[in-house]
């Protein structure tokens, strides 16, 4: 036993030394990156031996400068550990950093690794930067470009909506809309949920339930005939049929999966992305080998869904309009955009005039 | 009025057992009194009769009795009887006296352990243990054991987490609670945070590779 614990303890001591000297954290940005770190003396990670595991905590704020000539709308950093499978990311979707301006991103990551697995170096690298003209820079290892374009389209849609509301109904109309948005956000239900891939056939399902898909007439893709296996606090193996009713080829789509519990509360349980080549008017079945497990006991009464985004073959995207999102049954469960949450927070914290000033910025 | 002789002195006089150092004076006083007092004379005669009766009874006992052996046997029989009586009598339940000191020490240990847990164990770990306990209590209906063998991503009010190959990666925003969280069936979990002062939104995610 002593012969096993000695190398482990030695490794932990060496790792603690590395962390103390800042060598446990590696910030890796390409030389031609449009953003550059301002500070190099970032807080080193801390390592703590906990039982048979090593807890590595990274808690630092990166100060970055836009070194490009375009305005940055969003950015994603990838967090990874050497010798560790899986990756994490930290994204800021509601940026508006002009050339030469600075901004900061807070990274708070915990890694728990078996002591015998050694002590990995935590690496923070750039995954992507999205500019205001929707151009993109970065390796896109996490396929973050798609999400960042969707966030920007949602931001443009919502800013346009709030601006038109301000123009047509004045500050009082904007105030009422903000109060309504804050109330929806406060009333929205959330459930802790876990997702397991490749195990859907093993779930202890009791029955098969049908999806009731909400049709958005303007959606380029129609979805129908959906079923999933559900059990006690479990749902999995969703499958459905999609049809491209647009005139353009589709390569990716996402469907929001909504669950209603025994108390009649609806909440967004998961998103179901699907990569496919779908020509105009073509239909295709989609089946996913994944299972959801809720962290609290829940009896699933019914399920519904709607198409939340579509990516065409040329990389452009479709998202539902504000009017489409206002239809009954969708407004309460559809997630507000990050930009709507940012604007409503500005209103809640600083008042209507600060919000109007913010809307006038761009 | 004449005073009667004490009955104990009369009994000793009848047996001839008055102490030597008192005998002359007491014997004289008792003898003079008995001659004049019919009551005490009668009592003296009764005592002498009883004494003679006892002597006759002693003469009826078997000869050559070993009194020491007899006493030992009687003592042994008494002890055997007492032991047998304990066997057949319902035993009274002894109530252990509870001292306050062990209780105080146990309570202190519980507080110490709870504090150490709260300070050192991440909330996600505590939640995972709680889920495991609930799973055991519900007979495994909440989580199928097979699922734990593969990578798992999770999103909750504690942030996002990836559990894979015996390791765990969790990302949050310094104690902030996410305003939204969700998972994707392609193997990712995400949580959205809003800075209360600036309104800046941060989205954290973990991915199964």
Can you state the percent helix, strand and coil of chain A, rounding each to 5? 25, 40, 30
CB atoms A190 and B172 under 8 Å: no
Kindly tell me if the per-residue pLDDT of B135 is higher than 50: no
How high is the pLDDT of residue A362? 87
How high is the pLDDT of residue A116? 61
Compute the nearest-CA separation of A78 from chain B (Å).
Answer: 9
Report domain extents, chain B: 1-58, 107-149, 150-209
| Nearest residue of B to residue A56, measured between CA atoms | B169
How high is the pLDDT of residue A1? 41
| pTM: predicted TM-score of the whole model, two decimal places | 0.70
Instruction: Find the range with the poorest average confidence among A262-271, A330-339, B84-93, B170-179.
Output: B84-93
CB atoms A89 and B184 under 8 Å: no
B137, with CB counted inside 10 A (0-12, 13-18, 19+), is exposed
Point out which residues pair with A196 in neighbouring strands. Answer: A291, B152
Of B168, B174, B202, the CB nearest to A112: B168
Residue B36: count other Cβ atoms within 10 Å of its Cβ: 9
Of A204, A338, A346, the CB nearest to B144: A204
CATH of A193-334, one of 3.30.310, 1.10.510, 3.90.550, 2.60.40: 2.60.40
Contacts of B180 (CB under 8 A, 6+ apart): A188, A190, A335, B191, B192
Q: Give, to the nearest 10 degrees, the angle between helix B20-36 and helix B7-15.
A: 110
- Distance in angstroms (rounded) separating the CA atoms of residues A91 and A86: 17
- Distance in angstroms (rounded) separating the CA atoms of residues A79 and B162: 12
Kindly tell me if the per-residue pLDDT of B94 is higher than 70: no
Three-state SS sequence of A246-310: CCCCEEEEEEEEEEECCCCCEEEEEEEEEEEEECCCCEEEEECCEEEEECCCCCCCEEEEEEEEE
Instruction: Find the range with the poorest average confidence among A248-252, A338-342, B39-43, B99-103.
Output: B99-103
Q: Residue B166: left (phi > 0), alpha (psi -120 to 50), or beta?
A: left
Please say whether the beta carbons of B117 and B129 come within 8 A.
no
- Alpha helices (H) along chain B: 7-15, 20-36, 38-60, 67-88, 100-120, 123-137
User: ipTM for the complex?
Assistant: 0.89
Kindly tell me if the per-residue pLDDT of B137 is higher than 60: no
- Distance in angstroms (rounded) separating the CA atoms of residues B49 and B55: 10
Provide CATH 2.60.40 ranges for chain A.
2-142, 193-334
A174 interfacial to chain B (CB closer than 8 Å): no
Q: Give the number of A-B residue pairs with CB atoms closer than 8 Å.
A: 214
How high is the pLDDT of residue B143? 36
CA dist A26 → A22, A42, A123, A286, B49 (Å): 8, 10, 5, 40, 122
A17 interfacial to chain B (CB closer than 8 Å): no
Kindly tell me if the per-residue pLDDT of B161 is higher than 50: yes
* pLDDT values of chain A reduced to their tens digit, one per residue, 362 residues: 434 444 444 444 444 444 434 457 888 899 999 999 887 556 777 878 777 777 888 888 889 999 999 999 999 999 988 766 678 999 999 999 999 999 988 888 888 777 665 666 788 899 999 999 999 999 999 999 999 999 999 999 999 999 999 999 999 999 999 999 999 888 888 889 998 876 555 566 678 899 999 989 999 999 999 999 988 788 888 999 999 999 999 999 999 999 998 888 888 889 999 999 999 999 999 998 888 988 888 888 899 999 999 999 999 999 999 999 888 778 878 889 999 999 999 999 999 999 999 999 98
Compute the nearest-CA separation of B85 from chain A (Å).
Answer: 59
Chain A residues within 8 A of B160 when measuring between CB atoms: 88
A238, with CB counted inside 10 A (0-12, 13-18, 19+), is buried
What are the backbone angles phi and psi of residue A126, rounded to the nearest 5°?
-85, 130
CB atoms B185 and A238 under 8 Å: yes
Residue A267's nearest CA partner among A240, A231, A305, A241 is A305
B199 interfacial to chain A (CB closer than 8 Å): yes
- Distance in angstroms (rounded) separating the CA atoms of residues B159 and B206: 10
Architecture of domain A2-142: Sandwich (2.60)
How high is the pLDDT of residue B123? 57
| 19-38 of B, contacting A, C-beta below 8 A | none
Three-state DSSP class for residue A37:
strand
- Distance in angstroms (rounded) separating the CA atoms of residues B153 and B160: 7
Contacts of B199 (CB under 8 A, 6+ apart): A94, A341, A342, A343, A345, A346, A349
The torsion defined by the Cα of A22, A24, A30 and A34, in degrees rounded to 10, comes to -60
Residue A145's nearest CA partner among A122, A123, A126 is A126
- Distance in angstroms (rounded) separating the CA atoms of residues A116 and A15: 13
Chain B residues within 8 A of A93 when measuring between CB atoms: 201, 203
């Amino acid at each position: 036993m002593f012969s096993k614990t000695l190398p482990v303890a030695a490794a932990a001591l060496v790792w603690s030394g590395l962390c103390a000297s800042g060598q446990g954290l590696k910030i890796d940005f390409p030389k031609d990156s449009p953003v550059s770190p301002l500070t190099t003396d970032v807080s080193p990670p801390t390592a703590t031996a906990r039982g048979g595991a090593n807890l590595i905590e990274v808690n630092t704020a990166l100060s970055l400068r836009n070194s490009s000539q375009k305005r940055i709308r969003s950015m994603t950093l990838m967090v990874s550990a050497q010798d560790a499978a899986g990756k994490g990311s930290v994204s800021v979707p509601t940026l508006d950093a002009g050339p030469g301006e600075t901004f900061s991103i807070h990274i708070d990551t915990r890694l728990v690794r078996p002591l015998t697995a050694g002590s990995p170096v935590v690496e923070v690298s750039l995954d992507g930067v999205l500019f205001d003209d929707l151009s993109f820079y970065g390796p896109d290892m996490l396929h973050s470009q798609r999400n960042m374009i969707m966030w920007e389209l949602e931001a443009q849609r919502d800013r346009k909506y709030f601006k038109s509301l301000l123009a047509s109904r004045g500050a009082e109309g904007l105030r009422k809309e903000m109060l309504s948005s804050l109330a929806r956000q406060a009333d929205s239900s959330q459930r802790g949920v876990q997702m397991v891939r490749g195990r859907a056939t093993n779930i202890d399902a009791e029955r098969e339930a049908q999806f009731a898909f909400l049709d958005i007439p303007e959606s380029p893709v129609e979805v129908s005939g959906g079923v999933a296996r559900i059990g006690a606090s479990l749902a999995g193996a969703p499958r459905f049929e999609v049809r491209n009713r647009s005139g353009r080829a589709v390569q990716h789509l996402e469907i929001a999966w909504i669950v209603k519990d025994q108390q009649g509360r609806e909440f967004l349980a998961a998103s179901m992305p699907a990569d496919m080549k779908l020509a105009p008017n073509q239909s295709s079945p989609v089946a996913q080998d994944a299972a959801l497990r809720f962290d609290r006991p829940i009896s699933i009464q019914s399920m519904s869904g709607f198409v939340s985004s579509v990516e065409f073959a040329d990389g452009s995207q479709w998202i539902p309009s504000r009017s489409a999102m206002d239809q009954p049954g969708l407004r309460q469960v559809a997630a507000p955009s990050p930009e709507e949450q940012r604007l409503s927070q500005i209103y809640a914290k600083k008042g209507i005039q600060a919000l109007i000033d913010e809307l006038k910025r761009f | 009025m004449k005073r009667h002789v004490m009955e104990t002195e009369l009994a000793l006089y009848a047996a001839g057992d008055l102490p030597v150092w008192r005998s002359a004076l007491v014997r004289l006083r008792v003898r003079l009194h008995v001659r004049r007092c019919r009551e005490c004379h009668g009592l003296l005669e009764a005592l002498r009769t009883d004494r003679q009766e006892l002597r006759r009874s002693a003469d009826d006992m078997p000869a050559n009795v070993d009194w020491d052996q007899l006493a030992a046997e009687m003592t042994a029989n008494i002890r055997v009887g007492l032991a047998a009586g304990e066997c057949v009598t319902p035993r009274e339940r002894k109530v252990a006296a509870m001292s306050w000191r062990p209780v105080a020490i146990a309570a202190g240990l519980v507080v110490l352990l709870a504090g150490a847990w709260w300070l050192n164990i991440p909330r996600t770990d505590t939640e995972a243990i709680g889920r495991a306990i609930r799973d055991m209590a519900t007979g495994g209906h909440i989580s199928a054991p097979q699922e734990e063998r593969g990578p798992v991503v999770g999103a909750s009010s504690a942030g996002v987490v990836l559990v894979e190959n015996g390791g765990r990666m969790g990302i949050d925003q310094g104690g902030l609670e996410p305003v939204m969280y969700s998972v994707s069936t392609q193997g990712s979990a995400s949580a959205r945070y809003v800075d209360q002062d600036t309104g800046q939104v941060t989205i954290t995610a973990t991915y199964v590779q």
